[in-house]
Amino acid sequence: MPRKIATSIAAIAAAGLLLSGCTSSTPETSGESDGGSTSASSNATFTYAIGGDPMSMNPINLSDRWGLTFANIVYLPLARVEADGTVVNELAEKIEPAEDGLSVTVTLKDDLKWSDGEPITAEDVVFTYTNKAVRENGNADLLYVGDEPITAAATDDHTVVFTLPSLSAAAISNIATETYIIPKHIYGDVTDFSVTQLDPAAIGSGPYKLDEYKPGEYLKFSANENYYGDAPNIPNLILQILTDADTVKTALQTDQVSASFVTSAQVAEFEGTNVTTYPYSEGRVAYLGVQAGKPALADPKVRQALFFALDRGAISDAAFLSTDYYEEAYSILPPSNPWATEDVEKYEQDVAKSKQLLEEANAADLKLTLGYIGTDPAQVAEATQVQEQFAEVGVDLTLSGVDGSALYAELEKGADSKFDLFLGGYIMGLEPDAYSALFRTGASANYFGYSNPEVDALFDAGVAELDDAKRGDIYDELQAKIQDDAVFFPIADNKKIIAMSNSFTGIDEARLVPIYSLENFGKLAVK
Protein backbone atom coordinates (compact mmCIF):
# COMPACT_ATOMS: atom_id res chain seq x y z
CA MET A 1 0.00 0.00 0.00
CA PRO A 2 1.25 3.58 -0.53
CA ARG A 3 3.18 5.21 2.27
CA LYS A 4 2.83 8.92 3.00
CA ILE A 5 5.79 9.32 5.32
CA ALA A 6 9.51 8.97 4.74
CA THR A 7 11.53 7.48 7.57
CA SER A 8 14.97 7.08 6.06
CA ILE A 9 17.81 8.64 8.03
CA ALA A 10 18.51 11.03 5.14
CA ALA A 11 14.91 12.24 4.97
CA ILE A 12 14.68 12.76 8.70
CA ALA A 13 18.00 14.57 8.73
CA ALA A 14 16.73 16.97 6.10
CA ALA A 15 13.61 17.69 8.18
CA GLY A 16 15.70 18.32 11.27
CA LEU A 17 18.06 20.71 9.48
CA LEU A 18 15.29 22.65 7.77
CA LEU A 19 13.54 23.37 11.02
CA SER A 20 16.26 25.17 13.04
CA GLY A 21 -17.11 15.72 39.90
CA CYS A 22 -17.28 19.38 41.07
CA THR A 23 -14.65 20.93 43.24
CA SER A 24 -15.61 22.58 46.49
CA SER A 25 -13.01 25.29 46.15
CA THR A 26 -12.34 27.47 43.11
CA PRO A 27 -9.40 29.88 42.72
CA GLU A 28 -10.03 33.44 41.66
CA THR A 29 -10.63 33.56 37.92
CA SER A 30 -11.62 36.08 35.31
CA GLY A 31 -13.01 35.45 31.85
CA GLU A 32 -13.00 39.14 30.95
CA SER A 33 -10.29 41.51 29.85
CA ASP A 34 -9.22 44.61 31.74
CA GLY A 35 -10.30 47.00 29.02
CA GLY A 36 -9.74 44.78 25.98
CA SER A 37 -5.96 44.45 26.23
CA THR A 38 -4.38 41.34 24.75
CA SER A 39 -0.90 42.10 26.07
CA ALA A 40 0.89 40.03 28.67
CA SER A 41 0.68 43.01 31.06
CA SER A 42 -3.06 42.46 31.58
CA ASN A 43 -4.39 40.55 34.60
CA ALA A 44 -6.52 38.18 32.54
CA THR A 45 -6.82 34.51 33.46
CA PHE A 46 -7.64 31.57 31.22
CA THR A 47 -9.30 28.69 33.08
CA TYR A 48 -9.22 25.28 31.42
CA ALA A 49 -11.30 22.49 32.95
CA ILE A 50 -9.62 19.07 33.11
CA GLY A 51 -11.21 15.75 34.05
CA GLY A 52 -8.98 14.78 36.97
CA ASP A 53 -5.68 15.16 38.75
CA PRO A 54 -2.52 14.31 36.81
CA MET A 55 -1.64 10.68 37.52
CA SER A 56 2.01 11.74 37.43
CA MET A 57 3.70 15.14 37.44
CA ASN A 58 7.17 13.64 36.99
CA PRO A 59 8.34 14.24 33.38
CA ILE A 60 10.54 11.15 33.54
CA ASN A 61 7.62 8.72 33.72
CA LEU A 62 4.33 10.49 33.06
CA SER A 63 2.08 9.15 30.32
CA ASP A 64 -1.49 10.16 31.23
CA ARG A 65 -3.39 12.97 29.47
CA TRP A 66 -3.53 15.41 32.36
CA GLY A 67 0.05 14.73 33.43
CA LEU A 68 1.23 15.40 29.89
CA THR A 69 -0.96 18.52 29.69
CA PHE A 70 0.72 19.82 32.84
CA ALA A 71 4.19 18.96 31.54
CA ASN A 72 3.59 20.64 28.19
CA ILE A 73 2.78 23.88 30.00
CA VAL A 74 5.79 23.88 32.34
CA TYR A 75 8.51 21.99 30.43
CA LEU A 76 9.80 21.75 26.86
CA PRO A 77 11.20 18.87 24.77
CA LEU A 78 14.12 19.22 22.40
CA ALA A 79 11.61 19.11 19.54
CA ARG A 80 8.05 18.03 18.84
CA VAL A 81 6.34 16.25 15.95
CA GLU A 82 3.16 17.86 14.66
CA ALA A 83 0.14 15.82 13.57
CA ASP A 84 1.25 16.00 9.92
CA GLY A 85 4.72 14.66 10.76
CA THR A 86 6.49 18.03 10.68
CA VAL A 87 9.37 18.30 13.17
CA VAL A 88 9.38 21.61 15.09
CA ASN A 89 12.40 22.42 17.23
CA GLU A 90 11.93 23.73 20.76
CA LEU A 91 15.08 23.67 22.92
CA ALA A 92 17.03 22.24 19.98
CA GLU A 93 18.54 24.50 17.34
CA LYS A 94 19.65 21.59 15.15
CA ILE A 95 19.07 17.82 15.08
CA GLU A 96 21.62 16.02 12.90
CA PRO A 97 21.61 12.23 12.39
CA ALA A 98 24.95 10.73 11.37
CA GLU A 99 25.25 9.26 7.89
CA ASP A 100 25.63 5.75 9.32
CA GLY A 101 22.40 6.16 11.31
CA LEU A 102 24.07 5.19 14.60
CA SER A 103 24.17 8.58 16.31
CA VAL A 104 22.28 11.84 16.48
CA THR A 105 23.81 15.19 17.41
CA VAL A 106 21.57 17.82 19.00
CA THR A 107 22.66 21.45 19.33
CA LEU A 108 20.76 23.59 21.82
CA LYS A 109 19.56 27.13 21.19
CA ASP A 110 21.64 29.92 22.71
CA ASP A 111 20.77 31.64 26.00
CA LEU A 112 18.12 29.18 27.19
CA LYS A 113 17.13 29.53 30.85
CA TRP A 114 15.13 27.65 33.43
CA SER A 115 12.24 29.45 35.09
CA ASP A 116 14.53 30.15 38.09
CA GLY A 117 17.00 31.95 35.80
CA GLU A 118 19.70 29.27 35.69
CA PRO A 119 21.08 28.36 32.24
CA ILE A 120 19.86 25.27 30.40
CA THR A 121 22.84 23.20 29.29
CA ALA A 122 23.66 19.94 27.56
CA GLU A 123 24.22 18.39 31.00
CA ASP A 124 20.52 18.89 31.76
CA VAL A 125 19.65 16.97 28.59
CA VAL A 126 22.03 14.12 29.42
CA PHE A 127 20.72 14.01 32.99
CA THR A 128 17.11 13.77 31.76
CA TYR A 129 17.70 11.06 29.17
CA THR A 130 19.94 9.01 31.44
CA ASN A 131 17.23 8.81 34.09
CA LYS A 132 14.42 8.30 31.59
CA ALA A 133 16.28 5.30 30.13
CA VAL A 134 16.21 3.50 33.51
CA ARG A 135 13.46 0.92 33.10
CA GLU A 136 12.64 0.90 36.82
CA ASN A 137 11.64 4.57 36.55
CA GLY A 138 8.88 3.69 34.08
CA ASN A 139 8.14 4.75 30.49
CA ALA A 140 11.64 3.97 29.17
CA ASP A 141 10.69 1.67 26.28
CA LEU A 142 11.15 4.11 23.41
CA LEU A 143 14.73 4.90 24.45
CA TYR A 144 15.77 1.32 23.77
CA VAL A 145 16.78 -0.41 20.58
CA GLY A 146 16.19 -4.08 21.32
CA ASP A 147 17.49 -4.68 24.83
CA GLU A 148 20.10 -1.91 24.72
CA PRO A 149 19.48 1.72 25.71
CA ILE A 150 20.26 4.78 23.63
CA THR A 151 22.97 6.72 25.48
CA ALA A 152 23.61 10.46 25.68
CA ALA A 153 26.83 12.41 26.22
CA ALA A 154 27.58 16.14 26.30
CA THR A 155 30.48 17.32 24.15
CA ASP A 156 30.12 20.93 25.30
CA ASP A 157 27.51 23.12 27.02
CA HIS A 158 25.32 23.25 23.90
CA THR A 159 25.85 19.88 22.25
CA VAL A 160 24.58 16.37 23.03
CA VAL A 161 25.44 13.23 21.07
CA PHE A 162 22.98 10.35 21.29
CA THR A 163 24.47 6.95 20.40
CA LEU A 164 22.31 4.08 19.18
CA PRO A 165 23.30 0.46 19.89
CA SER A 166 22.07 -0.47 16.38
CA LEU A 167 20.14 1.00 13.45
CA SER A 168 16.67 2.33 14.26
CA ALA A 169 14.32 3.99 11.79
CA ALA A 170 12.39 5.42 14.75
CA ALA A 171 15.41 6.97 16.45
CA ILE A 172 14.73 10.64 15.68
CA SER A 173 11.17 10.49 16.91
CA ASN A 174 12.09 8.46 19.99
CA ILE A 175 15.17 10.49 20.90
CA ALA A 176 14.50 14.11 20.17
CA THR A 177 10.77 14.57 20.68
CA GLU A 178 8.25 14.50 23.50
CA THR A 179 10.81 13.91 26.28
CA TYR A 180 10.56 16.86 28.63
CA ILE A 181 13.93 18.13 29.83
CA ILE A 182 14.34 18.67 33.59
CA PRO A 183 17.04 20.68 35.43
CA LYS A 184 19.99 18.80 36.89
CA HIS A 185 20.71 21.57 39.39
CA ILE A 186 17.26 21.03 40.93
CA TYR A 187 16.87 17.26 40.75
CA GLY A 188 20.48 16.07 40.68
CA ASP A 189 20.21 14.56 44.15
CA VAL A 190 17.00 12.61 43.47
CA THR A 191 17.71 8.88 43.80
CA ASP A 192 14.31 7.51 42.75
CA PHE A 193 12.64 8.81 39.59
CA SER A 194 9.89 6.19 39.68
CA VAL A 195 7.82 8.50 41.89
CA THR A 196 4.83 10.45 40.54
CA GLN A 197 5.77 13.76 42.17
CA LEU A 198 9.12 15.55 42.17
CA ASP A 199 10.17 17.72 45.08
CA PRO A 200 10.77 20.67 45.09
CA ALA A 201 8.06 22.26 42.94
CA ALA A 202 8.43 22.25 39.17
CA ILE A 203 11.20 24.32 37.62
CA GLY A 204 10.83 24.24 33.85
CA SER A 205 11.42 26.00 30.55
CA GLY A 206 7.88 26.26 29.14
CA PRO A 207 5.69 29.36 28.71
CA TYR A 208 4.27 29.08 32.26
CA LYS A 209 5.52 28.11 35.71
CA LEU A 210 3.53 26.28 38.35
CA ASP A 211 2.56 28.47 41.32
CA GLU A 212 0.12 26.29 43.26
CA TYR A 213 -1.42 22.82 43.12
CA LYS A 214 -4.39 21.74 45.24
CA PRO A 215 -5.12 18.07 44.47
CA GLY A 216 -8.72 17.53 43.43
CA GLU A 217 -9.20 21.27 42.88
CA TYR A 218 -6.80 23.13 40.59
CA LEU A 219 -3.30 23.89 39.29
CA LYS A 220 -2.39 27.58 39.00
CA PHE A 221 0.29 28.93 36.65
CA SER A 222 1.80 32.30 35.82
CA ALA A 223 3.91 33.44 32.89
CA ASN A 224 7.53 32.28 32.90
CA GLU A 225 9.59 35.43 32.38
CA ASN A 226 12.54 33.27 31.28
CA TYR A 227 10.67 31.43 28.50
CA TYR A 228 12.67 31.59 25.26
CA GLY A 229 9.60 32.31 23.08
CA ASP A 230 7.06 35.12 23.02
CA ALA A 231 5.59 35.97 26.41
CA PRO A 232 2.08 34.54 26.94
CA ASN A 233 -0.70 36.91 25.91
CA ILE A 234 -2.67 35.82 28.98
CA PRO A 235 -0.33 35.76 32.00
CA ASN A 236 -2.43 33.59 34.30
CA LEU A 237 -3.55 30.04 33.57
CA ILE A 238 -5.59 27.65 35.70
CA LEU A 239 -6.30 23.98 35.16
CA GLN A 240 -9.58 23.54 37.05
CA ILE A 241 -10.37 19.94 38.00
CA LEU A 242 -14.00 19.11 37.18
CA THR A 243 -14.85 15.44 36.86
CA ASP A 244 -18.51 15.61 35.85
CA ALA A 245 -19.46 16.35 32.22
CA ASP A 246 -22.67 18.18 33.17
CA THR A 247 -20.78 20.34 35.65
CA VAL A 248 -18.29 21.24 32.92
CA LYS A 249 -21.13 22.20 30.55
CA THR A 250 -22.71 24.48 33.16
CA ALA A 251 -19.35 26.04 34.03
CA LEU A 252 -18.76 26.87 30.36
CA GLN A 253 -22.22 28.33 29.89
CA THR A 254 -21.84 30.55 32.98
CA ASP A 255 -18.24 31.68 32.22
CA GLN A 256 -16.83 29.92 35.30
CA VAL A 257 -14.33 28.22 33.00
CA SER A 258 -12.93 29.43 29.68
CA ALA A 259 -12.59 26.10 27.84
CA SER A 260 -12.80 22.35 28.22
CA PHE A 261 -13.34 19.11 26.38
CA VAL A 262 -17.04 18.39 25.84
CA THR A 263 -18.93 15.39 24.50
CA SER A 264 -20.45 15.16 21.04
CA ALA A 265 -23.89 14.94 22.68
CA GLN A 266 -23.33 18.38 24.25
CA VAL A 267 -22.33 20.22 21.05
CA ALA A 268 -25.89 21.22 20.12
CA GLU A 269 -26.41 22.78 23.56
CA PHE A 270 -23.72 25.39 22.85
CA GLU A 271 -25.25 26.61 19.60
CA GLY A 272 -26.22 30.27 19.83
CA THR A 273 -24.27 30.80 23.07
CA ASN A 274 -21.00 32.56 23.90
CA VAL A 275 -19.20 29.23 23.45
CA THR A 276 -17.80 27.77 20.21
CA THR A 277 -16.95 24.10 19.75
CA TYR A 278 -13.93 22.82 17.79
CA PRO A 279 -13.84 19.10 16.85
CA TYR A 280 -10.46 17.68 15.78
CA SER A 281 -8.78 14.31 15.33
CA GLU A 282 -6.10 13.15 17.73
CA GLY A 283 -5.20 9.95 15.90
CA ARG A 284 -6.64 8.11 18.89
CA VAL A 285 -7.78 4.51 19.15
CA ALA A 286 -10.64 3.74 21.55
CA TYR A 287 -10.63 0.03 22.32
CA LEU A 288 -11.81 -2.93 24.37
CA GLY A 289 -8.87 -4.74 25.97
CA VAL A 290 -8.62 -8.31 27.24
CA GLN A 291 -6.55 -9.52 30.20
CA ALA A 292 -5.07 -12.45 28.29
CA GLY A 293 -3.55 -13.98 31.43
CA LYS A 294 -6.96 -14.72 32.93
CA PRO A 295 -7.74 -18.48 32.87
CA ALA A 296 -11.23 -17.88 31.47
CA LEU A 297 -9.73 -15.92 28.56
CA ALA A 298 -6.60 -17.97 27.84
CA ASP A 299 -8.17 -19.75 24.85
CA PRO A 300 -7.99 -17.57 21.70
CA LYS A 301 -11.34 -19.02 20.60
CA VAL A 302 -13.01 -17.47 23.64
CA ARG A 303 -11.49 -14.09 22.92
CA GLN A 304 -12.43 -14.28 19.25
CA ALA A 305 -15.98 -15.29 20.21
CA LEU A 306 -16.27 -12.18 22.38
CA PHE A 307 -15.09 -9.97 19.53
CA PHE A 308 -17.51 -11.51 17.02
CA ALA A 309 -20.32 -10.64 19.44
CA LEU A 310 -19.57 -6.94 19.13
CA ASP A 311 -21.00 -4.32 16.78
CA ARG A 312 -18.39 -1.54 16.71
CA GLY A 313 -20.68 0.78 14.75
CA ALA A 314 -23.41 0.60 17.41
CA ILE A 315 -20.82 1.04 20.16
CA SER A 316 -19.35 4.09 18.42
CA ASP A 317 -22.74 5.66 17.69
CA ALA A 318 -23.68 5.32 21.36
CA ALA A 319 -20.40 6.81 22.56
CA PHE A 320 -19.67 9.46 19.92
CA LEU A 321 -23.13 10.18 18.44
CA SER A 322 -22.38 9.98 14.71
CA THR A 323 -19.66 9.48 12.13
CA ASP A 324 -19.17 13.26 12.23
CA TYR A 325 -17.21 12.54 15.40
CA TYR A 326 -15.52 9.19 14.76
CA GLU A 327 -14.04 6.84 12.19
CA GLU A 328 -14.12 3.09 12.76
CA ALA A 329 -10.76 1.51 13.61
CA TYR A 330 -9.64 -2.02 12.75
CA SER A 331 -6.06 -2.37 13.96
CA ILE A 332 -3.66 -1.11 16.62
CA LEU A 333 -2.97 1.95 14.43
CA PRO A 334 -5.61 4.67 13.96
CA PRO A 335 -7.07 4.84 10.44
CA SER A 336 -5.37 8.19 9.79
CA ASN A 337 -1.92 6.71 10.45
CA PRO A 338 0.01 6.27 7.17
CA TRP A 339 1.15 2.79 8.28
CA ALA A 340 -2.35 1.51 9.13
CA THR A 341 -3.89 -1.35 7.18
CA GLU A 342 -7.42 -2.75 7.01
CA ASP A 343 -6.10 -6.10 5.77
CA VAL A 344 -6.77 -7.67 9.17
CA GLU A 345 -9.53 -9.67 10.84
CA LYS A 346 -12.10 -6.95 11.49
CA TYR A 347 -14.41 -9.07 13.66
CA GLU A 348 -17.57 -7.79 11.99
CA GLN A 349 -20.47 -8.79 14.24
CA ASP A 350 -21.49 -12.43 13.73
CA VAL A 351 -23.61 -13.68 16.63
CA ALA A 352 -23.89 -17.22 15.26
CA LYS A 353 -20.13 -17.52 14.87
CA SER A 354 -19.62 -16.12 18.37
CA LYS A 355 -21.92 -18.74 19.88
CA GLN A 356 -20.25 -21.50 17.87
CA LEU A 357 -16.76 -20.53 19.08
CA LEU A 358 -17.94 -20.38 22.69
CA GLU A 359 -19.43 -23.84 22.33
CA GLU A 360 -16.23 -25.23 20.78
CA ALA A 361 -14.23 -23.77 23.66
CA ASN A 362 -16.63 -25.18 26.28
CA ALA A 363 -17.15 -21.64 27.54
CA ALA A 364 -20.88 -21.62 28.15
CA ASP A 365 -22.22 -19.43 30.99
CA LEU A 366 -19.15 -17.21 30.86
CA LYS A 367 -19.14 -14.55 33.61
CA LEU A 368 -16.76 -11.59 33.18
CA THR A 369 -16.12 -8.14 34.67
CA LEU A 370 -15.45 -5.02 32.58
CA GLY A 371 -13.46 -2.13 34.06
CA TYR A 372 -13.77 1.41 32.68
CA ILE A 373 -13.62 5.06 33.74
CA GLY A 374 -17.02 5.71 35.28
CA THR A 375 -16.81 9.50 34.90
CA ASP A 376 -16.20 9.30 31.14
CA PRO A 377 -19.58 9.49 29.34
CA ALA A 378 -18.18 7.84 26.21
CA GLN A 379 -16.86 4.87 28.16
CA VAL A 380 -20.12 4.56 30.08
CA ALA A 381 -21.97 4.35 26.76
CA GLU A 382 -19.43 1.87 25.37
CA ALA A 383 -19.68 -0.32 28.47
CA THR A 384 -23.47 -0.46 28.28
CA GLN A 385 -23.36 -1.46 24.62
CA VAL A 386 -20.76 -4.16 25.23
CA GLN A 387 -22.83 -5.58 28.09
CA GLU A 388 -25.98 -5.73 25.92
CA GLN A 389 -24.17 -7.27 22.96
CA PHE A 390 -22.45 -9.92 25.11
CA ALA A 391 -25.82 -10.84 26.58
CA GLU A 392 -26.98 -11.83 23.06
CA VAL A 393 -24.41 -14.66 23.04
CA GLY A 394 -24.98 -15.69 26.66
CA VAL A 395 -22.04 -13.90 28.28
CA ASP A 396 -22.84 -12.34 31.66
CA LEU A 397 -20.86 -9.09 31.93
CA THR A 398 -20.60 -7.11 35.17
CA LEU A 399 -19.79 -3.41 34.72
CA SER A 400 -17.35 -1.73 37.11
CA GLY A 401 -16.86 2.01 36.62
CA VAL A 402 -13.93 3.50 38.55
CA ASP A 403 -11.68 6.55 38.22
CA GLY A 404 -8.72 6.49 35.85
CA SER A 405 -6.04 6.02 38.50
CA ALA A 406 -7.89 3.10 40.06
CA LEU A 407 -8.47 1.46 36.67
CA TYR A 408 -4.81 1.40 35.66
CA ALA A 409 -3.60 0.55 39.15
CA GLU A 410 -5.81 -2.53 38.94
CA LEU A 411 -4.70 -3.40 35.40
CA GLU A 412 -1.07 -3.35 36.49
CA LYS A 413 -1.86 -6.43 38.59
CA GLY A 414 -2.20 -8.40 35.35
CA ALA A 415 -3.85 -11.79 35.79
CA ASP A 416 -4.58 -10.89 39.43
CA SER A 417 -6.68 -7.90 38.40
CA LYS A 418 -10.38 -8.00 39.27
CA PHE A 419 -11.09 -6.94 35.67
CA ASP A 420 -11.25 -9.48 32.84
CA LEU A 421 -11.83 -6.81 30.21
CA PHE A 422 -11.31 -3.07 30.15
CA LEU A 423 -12.06 -0.02 28.04
CA GLY A 424 -9.28 2.36 27.12
CA GLY A 425 -7.82 4.64 24.52
CA TYR A 426 -4.36 5.77 23.47
CA ILE A 427 -2.61 8.33 21.29
CA MET A 428 0.84 7.17 20.21
CA GLY A 429 1.59 9.35 17.17
CA LEU A 430 2.74 8.51 13.65
CA GLU A 431 5.78 6.32 14.36
CA PRO A 432 4.65 2.67 14.37
CA ASP A 433 7.45 1.54 16.68
CA ALA A 434 5.89 3.67 19.43
CA TYR A 435 3.09 1.10 19.63
CA SER A 436 5.58 -1.50 20.83
CA ALA A 437 5.15 0.06 24.28
CA LEU A 438 1.64 -1.42 24.26
CA PHE A 439 2.09 -4.79 22.56
CA ARG A 440 5.66 -6.00 23.04
CA THR A 441 6.13 -8.71 25.66
CA GLY A 442 6.67 -7.09 29.06
CA ALA A 443 6.39 -3.51 27.76
CA SER A 444 5.52 -0.79 30.27
CA ALA A 445 2.01 -0.09 28.88
CA ASN A 446 1.14 -3.68 27.93
CA TYR A 447 -1.96 -3.92 30.12
CA PHE A 448 -3.23 -6.86 28.06
CA GLY A 449 -0.68 -9.32 29.45
CA TYR A 450 0.01 -9.99 25.77
CA SER A 451 3.02 -11.98 24.60
CA ASN A 452 3.72 -13.25 21.09
CA PRO A 453 7.37 -13.84 20.10
CA GLU A 454 6.44 -13.39 16.43
CA VAL A 455 5.04 -9.93 17.16
CA ASP A 456 8.15 -9.04 19.19
CA ALA A 457 10.33 -10.12 16.25
CA LEU A 458 8.26 -8.01 13.84
CA PHE A 459 8.69 -4.95 16.04
CA ASP A 460 12.46 -5.61 16.01
CA ALA A 461 12.47 -6.00 12.23
CA GLY A 462 10.30 -2.93 11.61
CA VAL A 463 12.39 -0.53 13.63
CA ALA A 464 15.62 -1.73 11.98
CA GLU A 465 14.31 -1.46 8.41
CA LEU A 466 15.06 1.83 6.63
CA ASP A 467 13.26 1.02 3.36
CA ASP A 468 9.69 2.36 3.59
CA ALA A 469 8.09 -0.28 1.38
CA LYS A 470 9.71 -3.17 3.24
CA ARG A 471 8.92 -1.53 6.55
CA GLY A 472 5.29 -1.20 5.53
CA ASP A 473 5.04 -4.89 4.76
CA ILE A 474 6.42 -5.71 8.21
CA TYR A 475 3.88 -3.53 9.98
CA ASP A 476 1.02 -4.90 7.87
CA GLU A 477 1.91 -8.42 9.04
CA LEU A 478 2.34 -7.23 12.64
CA GLN A 479 -1.11 -5.60 12.72
CA ALA A 480 -2.72 -8.75 11.30
CA LYS A 481 -1.07 -11.04 13.87
CA ILE A 482 -2.19 -8.91 16.81
CA GLN A 483 -5.78 -8.89 15.56
CA ASP A 484 -5.70 -12.67 15.04
CA ASP A 485 -4.65 -13.11 18.68
CA ALA A 486 -7.78 -11.19 19.80
CA VAL A 487 -6.53 -9.41 22.89
CA PHE A 488 -7.41 -5.98 21.52
CA PHE A 489 -10.69 -4.91 19.89
CA PRO A 490 -10.25 -1.50 18.19
CA ILE A 491 -13.45 0.54 18.22
CA ALA A 492 -12.87 3.98 16.71
CA ASP A 493 -10.63 6.96 16.15
CA ASN A 494 -12.90 9.42 17.93
CA LYS A 495 -12.55 13.16 17.62
CA LYS A 496 -11.94 15.33 20.63
CA ILE A 497 -14.10 18.43 20.94
CA ILE A 498 -12.93 21.56 22.71
CA ALA A 499 -15.49 24.18 23.69
CA MET A 500 -14.08 27.67 24.28
CA SER A 501 -15.60 30.94 25.39
CA ASN A 502 -15.89 33.55 22.65
CA SER A 503 -14.31 36.02 25.10
CA PHE A 504 -10.99 34.54 23.97
CA THR A 505 -9.31 34.19 20.60
CA GLY A 506 -6.15 32.66 19.17
CA ILE A 507 -7.09 28.98 19.09
CA ASP A 508 -5.50 28.60 15.63
CA GLU A 509 -2.26 30.10 16.90
CA ALA A 510 -2.34 27.97 20.05
CA ARG A 511 -2.91 24.89 17.82
CA LEU A 512 -5.28 22.05 18.63
CA VAL A 513 -3.08 18.98 19.08
CA PRO A 514 -3.37 15.42 20.39
CA ILE A 515 -3.20 14.84 24.15
CA TYR A 516 -2.28 18.37 25.26
CA SER A 517 -5.41 19.90 23.66
CA LEU A 518 -3.59 23.19 23.01
CA GLU A 519 0.07 23.12 22.08
CA ASN A 520 0.77 26.52 23.63
CA PHE A 521 -1.82 28.17 25.89
CA GLY A 522 0.32 31.32 25.77
CA LYS A 523 -0.84 32.03 22.21
CA LEU A 524 -4.45 32.56 23.35
CA ALA A 525 -5.60 36.13 23.89
CA VAL A 526 -8.51 38.08 25.32
CA LYS A 527 -10.79 39.54 22.66
Summarize the confidence of residues 206-225 as an average pLDDT: 97
The lowest-confidence range among 102-116, 158-172, 472-486 is: 158-172
Q: Phi and psi (nearest 5°) for 171?
A: -60, -45
- For residue 14, what pLDDT band results from cuts at 50, 70 and 90? very low
Helix H, strand E, coil C: the string for 451-496 is: CCHHHHHHHHHHHHCCCHHHHHHHHHHHHHHHHHHCCEEEEEEECE
Q: What angle do CA 424, 425, 427 make, to 5 degrees?
A: 155
CB hemisphere CA count around 273 (13 angstroms) = 19
Residue 101 is predicted with a pLDDT of 85
Between residues 199 and 526, the one the model is more confident about:
526
Contact 82, 177 (CB under 8 A): no
Summarize the confidence of residues 454-461 as an average pLDDT: 96
Q: What angle do CA 204, 124, 117 make, to 5 degrees?
A: 45
Summarize the confidence of residues 282-298 as an average pLDDT: 95
Residue 212 is predicted with a pLDDT of 95
Q: pTM for the complete prediction?
A: 0.78
Q: Which residues partner with 425 through β-bridges?
A: 286
Give the alpha-carbon dihedral of 38, 39, 40, 45, to 10 degrees. Answer: -20
Cβ count within 10 A of residue 481: 15
Compute the distance between CA of residue 386 and CA of residue 366 in angstroms, rounded to an integer: 14
The residue type found at 297 is L
Residue 42 is predicted with a pLDDT of 64
Q: What angle do CA 287, 323, 396 make, to 5 degrees?
A: 40
Contact 439, 287 (CB under 8 A): no
Contact 122, 157 (CB under 8 A): yes
Which of 13-22, 243-252, 388-397 holds the top average pLDDT? 388-397
DSSP secondary structure letter of residue 196: S
Residue 61 is predicted with a pLDDT of 92
Cβ count within 10 A of residue 362: 9
Contact 57, 191 (CB under 8 A): no
Q: What domains appear along the chain, each with residue ranges and CATH number?
A: 76-176 (3.90.76.10), 208-280+496-526 (3.40.190.10), 281-495 (3.10.105.10)
Between residues 161 and 87, the one the model is more confident about:
161
Compute the distance between CA of residue 32 and CA of residue 37 in angstroms, rounded to an integer: 10
Which residues, at least 6 apart from 197, have a Cβ–Cβ distance to it below 8 Å?
56, 57, 58
Whether the pLDDT of residue 11 is over 70: the answer is no
- For residue 177, what pLDDT band results from cuts at 50, 70 and 90? confident
Whether the pLDDT of residue 237 is over 80: the answer is yes
- What average pLDDT does the chain have? 89
Compute the distance between CA of residue 72 and CA of residue 226 in angstroms, rounded to an integer: 16
- For residue 444, what pLDDT band results from cuts at 50, 70 and 90? confident
Between residues 20 and 207, the one the model is more confident about:
207
Residue 270 is predicted with a pLDDT of 95
